[in-house]
Chains A and B, each alone.
Chain A
């Protein structure tokens, strides 16, 4: 069966420090991968999605970037964190190519920038 791993679960980082959140999927190949941010009272905002290795689309201009170095690995990064980057970050995957599939979510990372 397919599983999605996301780490770390919580992270406290100072302003100006770098960020790297990792997400890996097991049990499937060539998935669509997504990074969402959940801010209090604002629902889930799609940050990045990827349909293949090295193929990243950004939905919102921001201080973050994403990379997909391997088929089932998706990394969210920042060179210098801002206070406004605090939030709950969720990685998700869905099957590639099928039109009728849902997304499956990781456990999330609670990021607090201090």
Chain B
């Protein structure tokens, strides 16, 4: 089955700096890569996703890049703010499949 590795496990950044989280996947059939943000005491929330037919997608301060050849994808958060502090999970699946394979998560702390 699919195996998703996520790094780093924790990330501390100064407010205003950028944060980058990297994930690798094993199954070349995976073609859908969402990112979820989970704040303390809440459920995961989809923040951005990318499909394998594009290499980059951006939504305001958040961007995701995908390298299908190398089987890795990354989340970039620019101009970080305290409200960006949360646990971030990457995931991979086959579009219209039933199962998301999650990474282990990255705890991001934005220092004021």
* A-B complex is real: no
